[in-house]
Structure 1
Amino acid sequence: MNPAFIITIDVEADDEWSTSTGLTTKNAAYLPRFHELCQRYGLRPTYLVEWSMAQSPVLREFGQAVIADKSAEIGMHLHAWTAPPYLPLTEEDHRHKPFLIDFPAAAMAEKVKVMTGTLEEAFQVAITSHRAGRWMLDENYARILVEHGYLVDCSVTPRISWAGTTGHPAGRGPRDYSRFPAQPYFVDLDDIGRPGASPLLEVPMTIVPRSRAALWSRAADLAGSTSLAGRVVNRFSPAVTWMRPNGRNRRRLLDLARTALAEGWQHVEFMIHSSELMPGGSPYFRTRRSVEGLFDDIDALFAFVSTGFDPVTLTEFRMTFPVRPGISRP
């Protein structure tokens, strides 16, 4: 059985890394080029759409088109600081970008309800796939997703602790996923880090450890992962490889895909932000030249995975995943 190749795109406003109070959605116009590349290789992306992009006429037209020709899936991505109903937690939510899990339970549920309804109205399909904004999922959030009919989540980042990443300064703090499963599993709603009997399938992001030279390993140990020095070390010699292009890792992405084939993995999950496809839309690809390099890297990867992998959307993967006793298949 071939590994599944799952493409996930966080469809969000331009440069959400900034602290600007204004939101623009110009990057919606750059998605058709990416989609055409997927179609060239028979791949089936899942577009995880957040609130501001759902208001974009350009994005709505694009989403309606890919739904109509059945070439992609639309899912939900929730940035709690921009999604209604609005409940500011600080005087500068645009700077702190609080996690949804920082909000009261009732507000969390209402944001998920409104976001889901908005997407279902815009695209006239059931919304069943999800990724949490800033990767922050907890047990209460997972229960809310199940209550609203979600079947699959892709928020878990195995081998990654988000310690040092803040939302609301007085909030609960970030998650540590470092010991979470790396392979898909139905979550236990009382402990999302272990398999259980809920209908929500967790499809973890593909993140694998990589070897470091002794000097870099020593520097990382001394610096600590969350310090400025630690971030510099991780930039030049990261401890892990994500299935996520960064403009410098084409060879590692291809090696990761080859390993998945050789070892018979269940899945490989690719991710990117829609804003990274537009020059100046992110801190990482500021120029047209850098975006062209990004597309070259993606083209090389997609050409390789077009044979030997099964292209599926998130919900398609959920529908074919082996179901344990006690879990119903929709």
Structure 2
Amino acid sequence: MFTNKQSIHLPASSPPQLMVVIDTEEEFDWNNFPDRQKTSVAHLNQLDRVQSIFDEYGIKPCYVVDYPIASDLYNNKTLRDIFASGRCEIGAHLHPWVNPPLTEELSIANMYPGNLSAELEYAKLAALVAKIQQNFLFKPTVYKAGRYGFGPNSQEIITQLGFEIDVSVCPPFDHRADGGPDYRAFNAKPFWFGNQLLELPVTGAFTGWARSCAEPLFRNAQRLKQIKAPGILSKLGAVDRLVLSPEGYTPAEHKKLTQDLMKRGTRLFTWSFHSPSVEVGHTPYVQNDRELQQFLDSFRRYFDYFFGELAGKATSPSQFKKLMENK
């Protein structure tokens, strides 16, 4: 997994760049056992709630779409129209439990594509690519493993299927408790791997004055959630685990994470979320109209900060790859 890694160093003098990656997927209960019957994507009809904001700021988002999204010609019409008009990029997002061939045993561990056999992981991703080609008239080159589940065979598989960019790495999270990968050793900076594959990680990190002790300190605090240990450490400024996302993180935390990472030399940032959050009731983060408004407001608050105060620039996975290739 991730062989031949080569770090990408962007000059400190270069303006920060922001891209948007949306996990575009069916509506399902994240806390329940996988259910192959949960394939509704009706929320796509509300996609303009966020796309209009991206258009306003000149952002070309990348919607990484899974099989239920790619298959539903009735509900994905808005997304297909956005793509046809050149206002977004389309990538592939593999949710194995709703992606044919449906031959694996249903389990939490098998929700991570990288846990499947190489043959089955390949067959599922090939089927997804074919469905995207059929209905979007485009072969995707950007890949995001469902549940960030990039596995030991994933690099070879995405290479064989013609992908050029991966966006699966999610630092600093450790998903081993239910069978997923451990990303604690990664940071938010992009890197090359394999035969000129580009990795663009999720923008996440530990922040705070604990520094090298942040990860073990946070891990121990998680075991003491009943006495609110993680919140206490956050208020003390010792350690926070933050992600640049409107789901579960506040505008103040978005700014804090960005400032901290910029001090560490990060110049590429990814704003990420899940498409069902555009409608009330599908994700834990948007359960009522007030939370929906807060969710949408956080986009403009962060974009105003990034493009105004930081004089940042908008990019996309494909645009950033071209930039790196021309250096």
User: Which TM-score band applies after superposition, normalised by the shorter structure?
Assistant: 0.7 to 0.9
> Aligned partners of 1:112, 1:217: CA distance in 2, in Å?
33
> Aligned partners of 1:217, 1:102: CA distance in 2, in Å?
25
SS where residue 255 of structure 1 aligns?
Answer: helix
Change (3 A) 1:58 1:309: farther
Which of 199, 207, 222 lines up with 1:202 in the alignment? 199
Which of 92, 96, 112 lines up with 1:99 in the alignment? 112
Which of 37, 42, 46 lines up with 2:58 in the alignment? 42
Partner residue, 2:168: 155
> Aligned partners of 2:204, 2:216: CA distance in 1, in Å?
22
> Aligned partners of 1:97, 1:207: CA distance in 2, in Å?
24
Aligned-pair CA distance for 1:135: 0.5
SS where residue 269 of structure 1 aligns?
Answer: strand
SS where residue 306 of structure 1 aligns?
Answer: helix
> Aligned partners of 1:8, 1:247: CA distance in 2, in Å?
16
**Is the contact made by 1:2 and 1:261 (CA closer than 8 Å) also made in structure 2?**
no
Letter in 2 for 1:55: S
Partner residue, 2:123: 110
Letter in 2 for 1:106: E
Identical aligned pairs, as a percentage? Answer: 22
Aligned-pair CA distance for 1:148: 0.7
In structure 2, the gaps of 5 or more residues are: 1-13
Partner residue, 1:88: 104
Listed one character per residue, the Cα deviations across residues 28-78 of structure 1 (whole Å, up to 9, x for unaligned) are 112111000111111110001011111223443122212222111011110
CA RMSD of aligned residues (A): 2.8
Which of 297, 301, 318 lines up with 2:321 in the alignment? 318
User: Which structure 2 residues correspond to residues 11-26 of structure 1 after superposition, within 5 A?
Assistant: 11-19=24-32, 21=35, 22-23=37-38, 24-26=40-42
Change (3 A) 1:102 1:219: closer
SS where residue 272 of structure 1 aligns?
Answer: strand
Aligned-pair CA distance for 1:163: 2.6
> Aligned partners of 1:145, 1:255: CA distance in 2, in Å?
34
Partner residue, 1:246: 247
Which range moves more in the overlay, 277-286 or 19-28? 19-28
Aligned-pair CA distance for 1:235: 6.8
> Aligned partners of 1:204, 1:231: CA distance in 2, in Å?
32
For these two proteins, the number of residue pairs brought into alignment is 301
> Aligned partners of 2:215, 2:316: CA distance in 1, in Å?
37
User: Which structure 2 residues correspond to residues 133-282 of structure 1 after superposition, within 5 A?
Assistant: 133-164=146-177, 166=178, 173-188=179-194, 198-211=195-208, 220=218, 222-223=220-221, 225=222, 227=223, 229=225, 233-234=229-230, 237=234, 239-246=240-247, 248-258=249-259, 265-282=266-283
SS where residue 111 of structure 2 aligns?
Answer: coil
Aligned-pair CA distance for 1:310: 2.1
SS where residue 121 of structure 2 aligns?
Answer: helix
Aligned-pair CA distance for 1:187: 1.4
User: Which structure 2 residues correspond to residues 303-314 of structure 1 after superposition, within 5 A?
Assistant: 303-307=304-308, 308-314=311-317
> Aligned partners of 2:175, 2:326: CA distance in 1, in Å?
31
Aligned-pair CA distance for 1:139: 3.4
Which range moves more in the overlay, 294-303 or 15-24? 15-24
Partner residue, 1:194: none
Letter in 2 for 1:32: D
Aligned-pair CA distance for 1:219: 8.0
Listed one character per residue, the Cα deviations across residues 92-117 of structure 1 (whole Å, up to 9, x for unaligned) are x4x66531122211111111111011
SS where residue 139 of structure 1 aligns?
Answer: coil
**Is the contact made by 1:3 and 1:264 (CA closer than 8 Å) also made in structure 2?**
no
**Is the contact made by 1:28 and 1:59 (CA closer than 8 Å) also made in structure 2?**
yes
Partner residue, 2:7: none
Aligned-pair CA distance for 1:233: 4.5
Letter in 2 for 1:66: I
Which range moves more in the overlay, 142-151 or 250-259? 250-259
SS where residue 254 of structure 2 aligns?
Answer: helix
Aligned-pair CA distance for 1:290: 0.7
In structure 1, the gaps of 5 or more residues are: 167-172, 189-197, 325-330
Which of 9, 15, 18 lines up with 1:2 in the alignment? 15
TM-score normalised by L of structure 1: 0.82
Listed one character per residue, the Cα deviations across residues 230-258 of structure 1 (whole Å, up to 9, x for unaligned) are 89644774732110123551112123344
